[in-house]
Amino acid sequence: MVRKRPNILVTGTPGTGKTTTSSALAEATQLRHINVGDLVKAKNLHDGWDDELDCYIINEDLVCDELEDTMEEGGNIVDYHGCDFFPERWFDLVVVLQTDNTVLYDRLTRRGYSESKLSNNIECEIFQTLLEEAKESYPQDIVLPLKSDSIQDISTNLSTLTEWIRRWQPST
């Protein structure tokens, strides 16, 4: 089955603006926004709680099983801070949001992140862990890093992505 609408993965370190960008893009393009963190909680697609990392232990197989039919249909914006467990065939574009460390630190501090969770996420951004993960998991030509430090950056990114969706053609 050939999809009539594209699937986009929006990934990046927590605090880079994935949900903000994905929600606004879904509204602008009428694509479906899937926040994987919310889906994991709502459908119990996890193996319990990790006290040290202060988050659910996601069951990647359950998540992929849950999303398979929806992804085959197309027209989805998937929002998650990891990307290496999704099937490559699902995505036409993989957006990696990146944020300056000082901006990210302030955002995560406002969220009330513990010191260890804060430093873990800042290190991920410094070492561009999510960008490297995306480049290793998907074809280079569909991985798009975008700066996400400000409202202006988000606005520019929305324009870029909306235009990409407008021009997208299904592969035959």
Instruction: Note the pLDDT tens digit of each residue in 62-106.
Output: 999 999 999 999 999 999 999 999 999 999 999 999 999 999 999
Contact (Cβ atoms closer than 8 angstroms) between residue 144 and residue 94? yes
Contact 6, 165 (CB under 8 A): yes
pLDDT of residue 39: 98
Can you give the residue ranges of every domain in the chain?
13-166
pLDDT digits (tens, 9 = 90+) for 122-146: 999 999 999 999 999 999 999 999 9
Annotated binding site for ATP: 15, 17-20, 111
Beta bridge partners of 94: 9, 143
For domain 13-166, give the CATH number. Answer: 3.40.50.300
DSSP code of residue 140: G
Nearest Cα neighbor of 81 from 103, 104, 65 is: 104
**pLDDT at 172 exceeding the cut of 70:** no
Is the distance from CB of 125 to CB of 77 less than 8 angstroms? no
Residue ranges of the alpha helices (H) in 6-128?
A: 18-29, 36-43, 60-73, 101-110, 115-126
Q: Give the residue ranges of the annotated binding site.
A: 15, 17-20, 111
Closest to 93 in 3D by CA, of 69, 81, 75: 75
What pLDDT is stored for residue 16 in this prediction?
A: 98
| pLDDT given at position 53 | 82
